[in-house]
Each structure stands twice: as C-alpha cells, then as structure tokens.
Structure 1
Amino acid sequence: MNYTLRQLRVFLAVVGHGSFSRAADAVGLTQPAVSRGVAELEEALGVRLLDRTTREVVVTDAGQALAPAIERLLGQLDDTLEETRQLGERYRGRVVIASAPTISARLMPLYVSTCARQYPDIRLSVRDNVQADGLEQIRAGAVDFGVLIDPLAHEGLTIAPLATDPFCFVCRRDHPLANADSVPWSALDGIPLVLLDFASGSRPLIDRIFASHGVAPSVVQELGHSASVFGMVEAGIGASVLPSFSLPLPAASPLVWRPLTPREERRIVMVCREDRSLSPSAAAVWQMVQSLPLPAEPAMPQ
C-alpha cells in the first residue's frame, strides 16, 4: 500500500471544508492538486472515500470511518515531531571547537563567555592546536567544527567566512625598521626573520606573499607558536611577520609592531565536515559565532 502524509492531510482538509476549492486554499495547493491527492489515496486504498458532484462533496461510509482515525494519528505524529523539535532546541551537552593558537587568544574567550550566558546548558570546549591538527580533528569528527585560517584545500569541508586579519612586522625597538610608520614587504628581503612553521595555517600564506612581492627572506628560526616567536625576536635572533591576532605584544617587552604595506591578510573561517550535520547545540554555537562582532583591529603604533 503506497500513500503519503500529504495525501492524508489533503483528504482531511476536503472532509473538514466540504469542498475541494476551500481545501486547496487551506493547504496552499491548487484544486487539481487536491483532487489528484485524494484520487491517489483512494487508488492506494482500493476504496472510494468521497463522492463528487457538481454541487457538493459527500464523504462515503469508508471515508467517515477513516477520517477520525487519520486525524488522531496525524495529531499524534505532529505532537511527537514538536516534542523532538523542542528537545533539539534545549541546546544542552558539549560542543567542541578546534582553533589555531593565534585565533584562540583573541576570539575564543569571547565565544566561550558568550555561550555561557546565552546557552548555560552547553559546555563549550576549545581544542587549541596548530592549523594542521585542527583540520585533522575536523575531518576525523573529533570536534564539532573549527575556527581556523582558510585552508588551501576545501575538499570535503564546508567553509563560512568570518573575518580578515592583516599581517604585521614585529621587531625590537633597536631594529633599523622600528621607527618607520609602516614597513613595505620589499624591505624584508634578506633580513633575518623568525617565522611560524608550516604546521601553522599562516606560514604558507606568508611565503606566498613573499613570492608575490619578490622577497627572499633569511629564515633563521621556525616555531609553532607566536609566544615562542616573540621570545626569539626579543632575544635579537631576528624580526618577524605575524598576523595581527597575535597582538598585543608581551607586556613590558622591548618589541614594537608596524603595519606591512601593501596590506596583506589571512582569512579566518568557520570549518566543518561537509558530510556531517551539526547537532542542534553545535548549530546554535555556529550561529552565535557568526553573529558576534569581532574585536577591533589593534591601534596603529605610535
């Protein structure tokens, strides 16, 4: 026996309104679609449910026996579906976000504190790992989604833009470029630099930017975290190029930062698996992250 919920609802509408045209208006279908739905249901059941005349629609004995049973069953179905919807909207449980270190420091405190206020029954956890590890956790389903640097490969991922983050130059106050209002990328040609390593999502972008400006830097150290980079720069090992989300600089340090010109940016995005739906709680956090205003870019150094 082959019938659909739509056919059952159309039949009830005709019985309730006593007219195909009024039933069509009630359910938002055309009159021919309503007539066809009833005819298909009658064919599936092998019994006539309505007698049609030019003036009226008469419910047959079979139709009168069937209508209240269908109404009761559809009512139970609607109640069950509504309970399921409300259960999904309670937003409880644990949601896990992957994030890169330079993003975690600036954005994750905002997201965790806002989630605690808006959704007190959700426990939001942050996995603070380098970009490569964050992407691996997303693909493996170990986290619900990530806030990361836009990956070069999008295959199997859903990507939602979130913010842009300019790169800046960081050096000691006694560096020859420290007193400039801004530093051109071309000025970095051949100077010693301490950079993030290739596990970072920023490093491939930085290297591409160097190549586009014809810059051949002298990379003296490659490190996984911006805090380690700051230490090397402070020790005089070299200057650095870092995303502005790495700021502010450590308190009382001899370091300064300057904007790089022309402005070059990395894209911060939200990432989840393309083939996996977010849980209601994770979807609520995803929407919350998208709706929050981002922290202002750091003020230009004096």
Structure 2
Amino acid sequence: MTGSPTDISLRLLEIFAAMMRNGTTVEAAAALGVSQPAVSAGLKQLETQLGIVLFERTSRRMMPTAEAEALFAEIRPMFSMLQGFTQTARDIRQGLRGRLRIIATPPIGHTLAPRALRSFLRERPGVSVAFDVRRLEHVLDAVHSGSADLGVAITMDRPPSLNTEVLHETHMVALVPAESDLARQSQIRAGDLDGRPFIGMEVDSKLGSLVRSAFVQDGVGYLPHIEVRYVSTAAELANHGLGNAVVDPFTAHFHARPQIAIRPFLPACPIRVVLLTRRGVPRSELAHAFVAALRPLLARNLHRVHE
C-alpha cells in the first residue's frame, strides 16, 4: 500500500534533488553527507509514497524518468528558496543580518558610539540599526521595556531590573584654557576652580551631583556661572572661552580644541561605562559584535587620559 504524497518529508525531497543534480547515488550521498545506502533507501521510499517510478535502474547507473524530470522542475524553485533561507539563518547566527536597537547617554552616544557603529556596520551591509541618544532615565526605561536591545551609559548605579556589565572605568577631567596658569598644573583640584568662571552640570543630574560632591569634599562651594544639562554643551562653552568645566574624558577628547587643556580632576570623580541589557533575554550576535567594536575605542580613550 502506498503512502499519501502529502506525507512526503523534506528530507526525501532533498535526497531526490541531490540525485537529480549529481546523477549517481554515490555522488548524491557525498553531497548530502550521508551513506549511499541511505540515498538508495530514500529514493525507494519516495517512489513508494508517490506511486511513480522516478529512476530506471540499470547495471551501471540510474536514469531519471520523464516523471522525475517533471517533478524536479516543480521543486527546483523550492530548494532555491530553502538555500536562501539557510543562508539568511546563517547570516543571522553570525551577526551579519538583522536589526539592532541601541540607546546611549550623550557622553557615549555623541562620542564613541558613532565610531563603533561605523566599524560595526562596515562589515554588515545586511544589518540595520535604530540608534537613539537620551538621558539616563530614558535609557533605563527603553532597555527595561524592550524597546531597545541594549543601552550604553555612564552611571555608577546597577539597576536591579537590568543586567549591568561594566565596560570601562575612568574619571572626570577638567577643561581649562591652554594659556591660563591652570594649564601649567599637572592636575586640577576643585579648589583651583573656586572664584573662576565655571560651567557646571545641573546639580540634580548624576554627573552634576558627582562633581558637586568633589567641590564639597575640597571645601569650596559648587557655584557654576553657567549651568547646563549636557556635558557636550559644557565642553563647547569652554571652547568658546566662557569658563572652566569638568566633564567625562570621552566628551573632553571628542570636543578637544587647541585652546583648551585637559587635565585630571581632583578629588577624583570615578565613572563607569556600562552595558545595560534586559534580564532573561539572551544577548544577540549583533549585540556582541557592537560591544566588540566599542571596547577598543574605550581602551584607547583610557590611554589618552593617562598620557
């Protein structure tokens, strides 16, 4: 009793297609990575299920019948699609296709992240990226809600609802005019900035609170002449001669101009660059690849800070 054609497995069709392409059971077996008896058995099973003779068996080889030629013409497009599907799956597995959603805080999103993206995308023309730069609270919300695959932020906190991986540790630096007496110092203390024009971060921001604590620790008041929301704004205002500033080293070197000197700031304000991902969600190959592109840039910046 023959089986129903609707019960035919994809594996039997793969054996049939390999036989049609290669001409012998030995070569078909080699192409599929199976034994020659497995190919012969598969062909016999397919003929039984279809109720059609697919090959005329001679002492030396098996010749496809007209029915076999007609059936092969029908399934050839399907195997082309399957080959494309297999290649796409392989590309996704290797991080060469897909979509990655990244969100970062400004100190990284406006400095090193674009450079990492350029390296990341250069070898991945099949990948698309959604990239956003927001304040820390928005980064945390986006990763927690799943609207971003990963976040990159400067923070000393470890949000309990997210996976946190420290990518880099460093300290805040001071920006002072290159022609000033401060630039002749190897490091700048908070007390050195007392009574001088100073561009400070909003005190209710994480970085603003960190710098304020350093001023208090050094026994001077935190009294910015100009208060800003973003470190990039502070750096640009310093470049225009509006005052000294204390910013993260990534922003400092990204906005570096000949008229501004970058010096270590004391009391030390330690900061961390962290990778944020959602708990319970495995990190994709694309996420791994982006982080791999970002790490050497962070390390290079650390070297510049300690030069």
Same fold (TM over 0.5): yes
In the alignment, what sits opposite 1:89? Answer: 93
How far has the Cα of 1:239 moved from its partner? Answer: 1.3
In the alignment, what sits opposite 1:130? Answer: 135
- Separation of aligned partners in 2, 1:150 and 1:269: 7
Q: Normalized against structure 1, the TM-score is what? A: 0.60
How far has the Cα of 1:250 moved from its partner? Answer: 4.6
Unaligned segments of structure 1, at least 5 residues? 1-82
Q: 1:209 aligns with which of 198, 214, 228?
A: 214
How far has the Cα of 1:167 moved from its partner? Answer: 1.3
Contact 1:149 1:201 (8 Å CA) reproduced: no
In the alignment, what sits opposite 1:79? Answer: none
Distance 1:262 1:226, change over 3 A: closer
How far has the Cα of 1:178 moved from its partner? Answer: 2.9
The SS at the match of 1:147 is: strand
- Separation of aligned partners in 1, 2:147 and 2:301: 31
- Separation of aligned partners in 1, 2:240 and 2:114: 29
More helix by share: 2
Q: Indicate the larger mover: 240-249 or 206-215.
A: 206-215
Partner deviation per Cα, 1:224-275 (whole Å, 9 max, x = no partner): 3334213433454431111111123656553222222454321111011224
How many pairs were matched up?
219
In the alignment, what sits opposite 2:246? Answer: 241
- Separation of aligned partners in 1, 2:280 and 2:227: 35
Contact 2:235 2:247 (8 Å CA) reproduced: no
Q: Indicate the larger mover: 156-165 or 137-146.
A: 137-146
Correspondence 1:1-302 to 2 at 5 A? 86=90, 89-91=93-95, 92-152=97-157, 154-197=159-202, 201-248=206-253, 250=255, 254-286=259-291, 289=294, 294-297=299-302, 298=304
Distance 1:172 1:284, change over 3 A: closer
The SS at the match of 1:294 is: helix
Distance 1:178 1:120, change over 3 A: same
Alpha carbon RMSD of aligned pairs, Å? 3.3
How far has the Cα of 1:98 moved from its partner? Answer: 1.2
How far has the Cα of 1:176 moved from its partner? Answer: 4.4
Q: Which residue identity is paired with 1:265?
A: P
- Separation of aligned partners in 1, 2:258 and 2:291: 36
Contact 1:205 1:266 (8 Å CA) reproduced: no
Contact 2:113 2:294 (8 Å CA) reproduced: no
Partner deviation per Cα, 1:65-84 (whole Å, 9 max, x = no partner): xxxxxxxxxxxxxxxxxx89
- Separation of aligned partners in 1, 2:232 and 2:191: 25
Distance 1:231 1:283, change over 3 A: closer
Unaligned segments of structure 2, at least 5 residues? 1-85
- Separation of aligned partners in 2, 1:107 and 1:135: 19
- Separation of aligned partners in 1, 2:254 and 2:295: 27
Contact 1:132 1:200 (8 Å CA) reproduced: no
Q: Normalized against structure 2, the TM-score is what? A: 0.59
- Separation of aligned partners in 2, 1:292 and 1:240: 24
- Separation of aligned partners in 2, 1:151 and 1:293: 17
